[in-house]
Structure 1
Amino acid sequence: MRKYKVNRGEPVKMPSKEAIEKYKDFSRLRHEYDEMVRRPQKPLYKDKKMFLVLLIILLLTYLIILATEEKEGKKKDQDDDNGWIEMVDEKYDSTT
């Protein structure tokens, strides 16, 4: 644990009257605090940069999905053409 020392021998430091007057205007103080703490948030449709970034991300995602589906479709077509059709033909061709 820390040990705290209270300096009772030093004179108490009081803020100047100018500093006190500066902080008496609470509405301005609150406004300055809100500006420092909160970020200004625009709706997505009004923030052009964020809307554009989101649109680009969605477009890239869509293109990637299309490309993967196209590759899977080609593989599936190749697999279907080779083995499955021959097996079905042999199954029904046994009547001879």
Structure 2
Amino acid sequence: MERGDDRQDLAEDLHGLDPDDPEVREFVAHRRRMREPHAKATVEGMLRGVDDFAQSVNRAEGRRRAFAVAVVVLMLFGVALTVWNAVGFMLGTFLG
């Protein structure tokens, strides 16, 4: 994130806020992400979504962070279960 871009966004959209405040900088970055078009049907778009989710989880606190961590653990459990079933199916097909 370029500092000059942040100051320009602040001058245009957020007049009167401190450009060196970390919360204001995050809000400016959020506004920029909302304005940028994202093609979510591509691998890059999906990875960008995962990156945005990971960054928001890192900023979260309390119950929101615990819920996000629980969602990630459930997703990883689902992936592990799917891989386990696929490996079992392949072994059963080729060895059985």
Under a length normalisation based on structure 1, what TM-score does the superposition of the two structures give?
0.39
Q: Which structure has the bigger radius of gyration? A: 1
The structure whose residues are more often helix, as a share, is: 2
